[in-house]
Amino acid sequence: MTKKTWKKPTTIMVVGDGCRVCGKEITNDMSFLAFADKTHAHFDCDRRQYYQQLIEKQKNEKRLSQN
């Protein structure tokens, strides 16, 4: 097996202001999303928020269709 010629960086950098959903700090070793308006969010936070909005939308549609 050949030796590695490069060394993995060990510094952890903080990305931006934090998560736009939960407000916690985001570092470069976490999975996160970067949006066009230059904000960031944890991948799991954004996915959770998306499914909550989807469920609320379905509830509203059911409520409107019953009337």
Residue 38, sorted as left (phi over 0), alpha (psi -120 to 50) or beta, turns out to be left
> Quick check: is 40 in a domain?
yes
Residue 67 pLDDT > 70: no
Please check whether residue 40 is in contact with residue 34, taking contact to mean a CB–CB distance below 8 angstroms: yes
Instruction: Report if residue 36 sits inside a domain.
Output: yes
Residues 6+ apart with CB under 8 A from 21: 41, 42, 45, 46, 48, 49
Domain encompassing residue 66: 14-67
Report yes or no on whether pTM surpasses 0.85. Answer: no
Distance of alpha carbon 2 from alpha carbon 7, whole angstroms: 14
Residue 23 lies in a domain: yes
Number of separate domains in the chain: 1
Residue 3 CB partners (closer than 8 Å, separation 6+): none
Quick: pLDDT tens for 22-32: 999 998 888 99
